[in-house]
């Protein structure tokens, strides 16, 4: 008969609980590191920039417009202060959003009226606090001024509505 006992024939490479623990840890940790390495390898490759395969499109994107020119009718009638308020200002000033003085609230408008019309118009055109600049938008500066006067007067002010700018004389006209 053979010298090998039945128990020795069935033993494997793991003989102690410590070896079993480290083999279990390695069987989970090594695949995780392999997956992380593969993900890093796949995502780190140099990728072509969008539009680089289509040269015409790439050139067009590099040469795109920086600004636009909008031509408006200079002879259109000016909007009233109430119309501008309803179209542009009511979204915030009707409810007092973000600290905006509420329409018709004398307590909100009192301290602002002390600074005068020019300061109010400047704040409206250039923006102040959470209010975005209104100048250069859908309405002219005079129309924004009319809306400022409309709101200020509803809040207890006594400001005069700005007049429409005088039409300039045509270039060929002679002045005596």
Question: Are the CB atoms for 146 and 161 separated by under 8 Å?
Answer: yes
Q: How far apart are CA 102 and CA 173, in angstroms?
A: 48
Could you please state the CATH topology (level 3) that the domain comprising 81-154 is classified under. Answer: Cytochrome Bc1 Complex; Chain D, domain 2 (1.10.760)
- The confidence score (pLDDT) of residue 160 equals 78
| pTM, full prediction | 0.54
**How confident is the prediction along the chain (176 residues), in pLDDT tens digits per residue?**
555 555 565 678 888 889 899 999 999 999 999 999 999 888 887 776 665 677 787 788 788 877 777 777 777 788 888 888 888 888 888 888 878 888 888 888 888 888 888 888 888 888 888 787 876 677 888 888 888 888 888 878 777 777 777 665 555 455 44
Tokens of 4: 């090998």
- The confidence score (pLDDT) of residue 176 equals 46
* Domain boundary assignment for the chain: 11-43, 81-154
């Amino acid at each position: 008969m053979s010298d090998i006992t039945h128990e020795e024939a069935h033993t494997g490479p793991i003989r102690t609980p410590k070896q079993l623990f480290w083999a279990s840890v390695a069987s989970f940790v090594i695949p995780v590191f392999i997956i992380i390495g593969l993900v890093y390898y796949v995502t780190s490759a140099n990728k072509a920039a969008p539009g680089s395969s289509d040269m015409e499109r790439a050139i067009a994107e590099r040469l795109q417009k920086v600004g636009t020119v909008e031509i408006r009718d200079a002879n259109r009638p000016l909007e009233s202060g109430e119309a501008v308020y309803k179209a542009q200002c009511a979204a915030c000033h009707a409810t007092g959003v973000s600290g905006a003085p509420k329409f018709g609230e004398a307590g909100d408008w009192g301290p602002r009226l002390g600074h005068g019309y020019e300061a109010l118009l400047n704040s409206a055109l250039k923006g102040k606090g959470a209010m975005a600049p209104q100048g250069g938008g859908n309405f002219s500066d005079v129309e924004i001024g009319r809306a400022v006067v409309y709101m200020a007067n509803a809040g207890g002010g006594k400001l005069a509505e700005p007049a429409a700018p005088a039409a300039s004389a045509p270039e060929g006209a002679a002045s005596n």
